[in-house]
A and B are shown apart, each in its own frame.
Chain A
Amino acid sequence: MRPNIRTEADRSPEFARWITSLPGAEKIRECMHCGLCSASCPLFAYMDYSPRQLMHLGREGFRDDVLGSFTIWLCTSCYQCTVECPRQIPVTEIMYALKRRAIEEKVYTPHLPIPVLAREFRRMVTDRGRISESWLVMKLLLKTGVHRMFGMVGLGWDLVRTGRFSLRKETIRDRGDLARMLEAVGSDAEAVS
């Protein structure tokens, strides 16, 4: 466990600048720590830092604490915090930006399945334009530990039984167009430090 003390050397002013320059996120500076985001978060119970604490660590520039936090991977984008925040901080969108930066900088628990899911999802959409759920889940299981697959057998059978397990590889017609379009949009500049 990291000792519970930080010096000014642990702060990254660049990170603080970056996080407060995200659209709407300058409002983090106005946070009054009422805790509405935390108390309304359905996943709070499992977080290491509460959303409120995470926003504060961000505005203070504690990059490693923020990007290394489990919290950002727990966010399901239900937007409850965003709707409740009395200072109108776009917490959910900030969580997205933090995920993007953590992936970009490869700062996350290696076996955490969430970023793996995101990457596999992207690969499939980029290649085929659509998601084939069954294939996506199988890829996820292969990448994050085959042992998980045993627990899924019953569930898989349920899907087969009810005709909801499809091995068809869904795809769009104009795949070339899609690739050209994704190429043309360029890449995000926001995560570049």
Chain B
Amino acid sequence: MLRENGFGSGPTSGGKTNGAPVNGDPPIRIGVYVCHCGTNIARTVDVERVTEKAGELPGVTIARDYKYMCSDPGQELIKEDIEELGLNRIVVASCSPNLHEGTFRGATAAGGLNPFFFQMVNIREHASWVHEDRESATDKAIDLVRAAVRRVHHHKALETRRVPIKPEVLVVGGGIAGISAALTLADGGKHVYLIEREASIGGHMAQFDKTFPTLDCAACILTPKMTQVRNHPNITLMTMTEVVKVDGFVGSYEVTVKHRPRFIDVSLCVGCQQCIDACVYKRGKFEDEFDAGLSMRKPIYLPNAQAVPQVVLIDPEQCIQFSSGKCKQTCVEACDRDAIFFDQEERIETLDVGAIIMATGFQTFDARRSPHYGYGIYPNVYTALEVERLVNASGPTGGEIVLRDGEKPTAVGIVHCVGSRNQKSNPWCSKVCCMYSLKLAHLIKEKTDAEVYNFYIDMRTPGKGFEEFYQRVASEGTHLIRGKVASVYQQADGDGELLVDVEDTLAGMVRRIPVDMLVLAVGLEPRYDAEEVRRTFNITCSGDGWFMERHPKLAPVDTFTDGVYLAGCCQGPKDIPETVAQAGAAAGQALALIGRGYMELEPNTAQVIAEDCSGCKTCIPLCPYQAILHDDAENRAEINEVLCKGCGVCVAACPSGSIVQNLFEDTEIYEEIEGVLAYA
């Protein structure tokens, strides 16, 4: 449908040809384009009425509606109208500017106009998606369009700013996601800072034994990657390091990191472990984190056998030297490289990078939060991560699956969905548990010949080779019982034997099954400090606490903060292949950004009107970016346009109104308000 003012002679022609010229410039000729977005908008908003009303507005030369404005023909419409009808302002009423502002500015520019003679109206997220009543949703859309039309009258031609992009990249987190991203970037010739909070890289994957569905050994495929990281000339690896502050913006981030003291000089230690043997503790006394607490270590220890870097560390909470100051320091004596320094201190460092990849991973659900399974009370109840260590040849039992009393289990239950798919804990499906539970079932059966029962709600095995693996485990005689275990009870006289009650929903009866080992397939959840990390990096989390991608389909590794990308489980549960693929994508995005060499920034900066400024300095301490200086000679404020982020604080604060901001000039804002309030 077409509404023309001045050109057509239809009933909707307003007669009034053009809007009032601004400052003696040529008359304003606006084109308004209302998008159906398929049925996304058109179902709830009467787009034809919006178009009709827009056509009657002063200054509007043409108003059209179209099924998909973002499509090629949609953009072509804008371009052609500019050329043929002499338009000099464009308004598109469609979706969020986050999605397509760039698209339509491009179309505006393609028609030969300055791209800032464009204004976007969001009638999808702000109208059709959030309202049910068609009548009022349409009225609202009309109001929003009117506001934009009045605003765009006052738009000015602006130039985008270009700033160079620093070619270094920061990767936060040294699990398989961070390792993969770092190697891709480094192989692409970019310098990478890979920082890891723990003493070794490797993350959760390093703790696993076999990986599903192919059952290849996790260490065999991961360890070479870890070594590559260590040896790569383009990677600076920093373990025991955390980010404390992020300043700057895309292309030019300034990241403050904190190195926790290891009490060992990383450049001197060769991992000979003489110090550990020499420690005054004759045997391990503290729970080994890497073995999920199933073995004991000393206060001075190597994080794990494959650790990268192969460097020991001292836990100051446990070491006698720190608590009493009176240890014999046998470790120092034993170290022939003099690498131990009890006086090492925390160190702060600043890194300059152009892009950041977040690969901070996940934590497993704390099984104590589901108390009816008796984890932490009954010794024979294990988490899946503990069993991963038991199965692992380099684990606390050398790969033998034995109970805490050293006996081999004869009946093992595996409870799926622990902490997952539950409104009281985590409502989401953790995605990997069905497959890792089947893997554990296979490994346990292979190593112990025990009866294995998998208690599942729905068996979720979508993935390459996954369904075939499920079939294989079923064929091995694993009992697959569809039902969630309701209670676990340890008999008074049994030797730790557990009775589990579960409804076998397929048989329609409750079964009471004795097992001597119960494995809880704990789900994945955001790390405890995800919220804090999110704030530090100024990215967003979805309601469930995972870091949020910019678009669930089309920008799955971007965030709403330019130049910050996501890889791996910090964005949501995923398995190793998906994690590696996403890490590659994040690295690719970072490479694309850096490859461009410069960033185009919104020209939304503020300027001081020199003759009006009284030099009162009100604005200077308020600027969050230290972009305002005081020119002592002239006694006035001066804004550094490169540093200005366009937040508008100084504009609002200036007592004499002598600071103005591009794209947000007073007239533009007032006209927009007037427009939205001018409903009939």
Direct contact of A and B (CB under 8 A): yes
B486 and A40 within 8 A (CB): yes
How does the 8 Å CB contact mask read for A80-120 relative to B, with 1 for contact and 0 for none?
00001011100000000000000000000000000000000
**Given the complex, which residues of B lie within 8 Å of A34, measured CB to CB?**
417, 421, 457, 483-484, 505
How does the 8 Å CB contact mask read for A9-49 relative to B, with 1 for contact and 0 for none?
00000000000000000000000111110111000110000
Closest chain B residue to A30, Cβ basis = B423
> Size band of the A side of the interface?
10 to 19
Shortest C-beta distance, A51 to chain B (Å), equals 9
Report which of A33, A39, A87 forms a contact with B486, defined as CB distance below 8 A: A39
A87 and B510 within 8 A (CB): no
A86 and B423 within 8 A (CB): yes
A38 and B421 within 8 A (CB): no
Q: Does A59 contact B (CB under 8 A)?
A: no
**Given the complex, which residues of A lie within 8 Å of B674, measured CB to CB?**
none
Shortest C-beta distance, A15 to chain B (Å), equals 22
Output the residue of A38, A39, A40, A87 with the most chain B CB within 10 A: A39
**Given the complex, which residues of B lie within 8 Å of A144, measured CB to CB?**
none
Q: Does B501 contact A (CB under 8 A)?
A: yes
List CB contacts (< 8 Å) of B378-424 with chain A: 417, 421-424
Q: How far is the CA of A36 from the CA of B417 in the complex (A)?
A: 12
A86 and B421 within 8 A (CB): yes
Q: How far is the CA of A88 from the CA of B423 in the complex (A)?
A: 7
**Given the complex, which residues of A lie within 8 Å of B487, measured CB to CB?**
39-40
Q: Does B508 contact A (CB under 8 A)?
A: yes
Shortest C-beta distance, A55 to chain B (Å), equals 12
Shortest C-beta distance, B502 to chain A (Å), equals 5
Q: Does B485 contact A (CB under 8 A)?
A: yes
How does the 8 Å CB contact mask read for B213-230 relative to A, with 1 for contact and 0 for none?
000000000000000000
**Given the complex, which residues of A lie within 8 Å of B423, measured CB to CB?**
86-88
Shortest C-beta distance, A24 to chain B (Å), equals 12
Q: How far is the CA of A50 from the CA of B502 in the complex (A)?
A: 12
A50 and B503 within 8 A (CB): yes
Closest chain A residue to B487, Cβ basis = A40
Q: Does B135 contact A (CB under 8 A)?
A: no
Closest chain B residue to A33, Cβ basis = B505
Q: Does A132 contact B (CB under 8 A)?
A: no
Q: Does B458 contact A (CB under 8 A)?
A: yes
**Given the complex, which residues of B lie within 8 Å of A86, measured CB to CB?**
421-424, 484
B505 and A45 within 8 A (CB): no
Q: Does A52 contact B (CB under 8 A)?
A: yes
Output the residue of A33, A34, A45 with the most chain B CB within 10 A: A34
Output the residue of A32, A36, A52 with the most chain B CB within 10 A: A36
How does the 8 Å CB contact mask read for B303-336 relative to A, with 1 for contact and 0 for none?
0000000000000000000000000000000000
Known: A45-B510, A52-B505. A35 touches B483 (CB 8 A): yes
How does the 8 Å CB contact mask read for B481-497 relative to A, with 1 for contact and 0 for none?
01111110000000000
Shortest C-beta distance, A7 to chain B (Å), equals 21
**Given the complex, which residues of B lie within 8 Å of A88, measured CB to CB?**
423-424
Shortest C-beta distance, B600 to chain A (Å), equals 47
Shortest C-beta distance, B232 to chain A (Å), equals 46
B458 and A35 within 8 A (CB): no
Q: Does A53 contact B (CB under 8 A)?
A: yes
A84 and B486 within 8 A (CB): yes
Shortest C-beta distance, A150 to chain B (Å), equals 34
Q: How far is the CA of A140 from the CA of B423 in the complex (A)?
A: 42
Output the residue of A35, A50, A87 with the most chain B CB within 10 A: A35
How does the 8 Å CB contact mask read for B418-436 relative to A, with 1 for contact and 0 for none?
0001111000000000000
Q: How far is the CA of A50 from the CA of B510 in the complex (A)?
A: 9
Report which of A32, A33, A44, A84 forms a contact with B510, defined as CB distance below 8 A: A44
Q: Does B372 contact A (CB under 8 A)?
A: yes
Q: How far is the CA of A34 from the CA of B485 in the complex (A)?
A: 9
**Given the complex, which residues of B lie within 8 Å of A53, measured CB to CB?**
508
| Interface size of B in residues (CB-CB distance below 8 Å) | 21
Q: How far is the CA of A117 from the CA of B486 in the complex (A)?
A: 31
**Given the complex, which residues of B lie within 8 Å of A32, measured CB to CB?**
421, 457-458
How does the 8 Å CB contact mask read for B114-153 relative to A, with 1 for contact and 0 for none?
0000000000000000000000000000000000000000
**Given the complex, which residues of A lie within 8 Å of B510, measured CB to CB?**
35, 38-39, 44-45, 50
Closest chain B residue to A85, Cβ basis = B423
**Given the complex, which residues of B lie within 8 Å of A39, measured CB to CB?**
483-487, 501-503, 510
**Given the complex, which residues of B lie within 8 Å of A38, measured CB to CB?**
486, 503, 505, 510
Q: How far is the CA of A87 from the CA of B427 in the complex (A)?
A: 9
**Given the complex, which residues of A lie within 8 Å of B422, measured CB to CB?**
86
Q: How far is the CA of A87 from the CA of B423 in the complex (A)?
A: 6
Q: How far is the CA of A158 from the CA of B186 in the complex (A)?
A: 86
Q: How far is the CA of A33 from the CA of B457 in the complex (A)?
A: 7
Q: How far is the CA of A38 from the CA of B502 in the complex (A)?
A: 8
Closest chain B residue to A34, Cβ basis = B484
Output the residue of A38, A50, A53 with the most chain B CB within 10 A: A38
Q: How far is the CA of A86 from the CA of B416 in the complex (A)?
A: 13
Shortest C-beta distance, B505 to chain A (Å), equals 5
B424 and A35 within 8 A (CB): no
Q: How far is the CA of A86 from the CA of B415 in the complex (A)?
A: 15
Shortest C-beta distance, A59 to chain B (Å), equals 16
**Given the complex, which residues of A lie within 8 Å of B502, measured CB to CB?**
35, 39
Q: How far is the CA of A35 from the CA of B486 in the complex (A)?
A: 8
Q: How far is the CA of A32 from the CA of B485 in the complex (A)?
A: 14
**Given the complex, which residues of B lie within 8 Å of A36, measured CB to CB?**
484, 486, 503
List CB contacts (< 8 Å) of B441-493 with chain A: 457-458, 482-487
**Given the complex, which residues of A lie within 8 Å of B485, measured CB to CB?**
39
Shortest C-beta distance, A109 to chain B (Å), equals 22
Closest chain B residue to A89, Cβ basis = B423
Closest chain B residue to A87, Cβ basis = B423
Q: How far is the CA of A50 from the CA of B417 in the complex (A)?
A: 22
**Given the complex, which residues of A lie within 8 Å of B486, measured CB to CB?**
35-36, 38-40, 84
**Given the complex, which residues of A lie within 8 Å of B421, measured CB to CB?**
32, 34, 86
**Given the complex, which residues of B lie within 8 Å of A44, measured CB to CB?**
503, 510
Shortest C-beta distance, B503 to chain A (Å), equals 3
Closest chain A residue to B425, Cβ basis = A86
**Given the complex, which residues of A lie within 8 Å of B424, measured CB to CB?**
86, 88
Closest chain A residue to B421, Cβ basis = A86
Closest chain B residue to A44, Cβ basis = B510
Shortest C-beta distance, A3 to chain B (Å), equals 17
Known: A84-B486, A86-B422. A35 touches B503 (CB 8 A): yes
Q: How far is the CA of A7 from the CA of B421 in the complex (A)?
A: 33
Shortest C-beta distance, B425 to chain A (Å), equals 8
Q: How far is the CA of A35 from the CA of B417 in the complex (A)?
A: 13
Would you mind naming 19 contact pairs between A and B with Cβ atoms under 8 Å apart?
Answer: A33-B482, A34-B421, A34-B483, A35-B502, A35-B505, A36-B484, A39-B483, A39-B486, A40-B487, A40-B501, A44-B503, A52-B503, A52-B505, A53-B508, A86-B422, A86-B423, A86-B424, A88-B423, A88-B424
* A contact residues vs B (CB 8 Å cutoff): 32-36, 38-40, 44-45, 50, 52-53, 84, 86-88
Q: A34-B505, A38-B505, A38-B510 are in contact. List 18 more A-B contacts (CB 8 A).
A: A32-B421, A33-B457, A34-B417, A34-B457, A34-B483, A35-B484, A35-B486, A35-B504, A36-B484, A36-B503, A39-B501, A40-B501, A44-B503, A50-B503, A50-B508, A53-B508, A86-B422, A86-B484
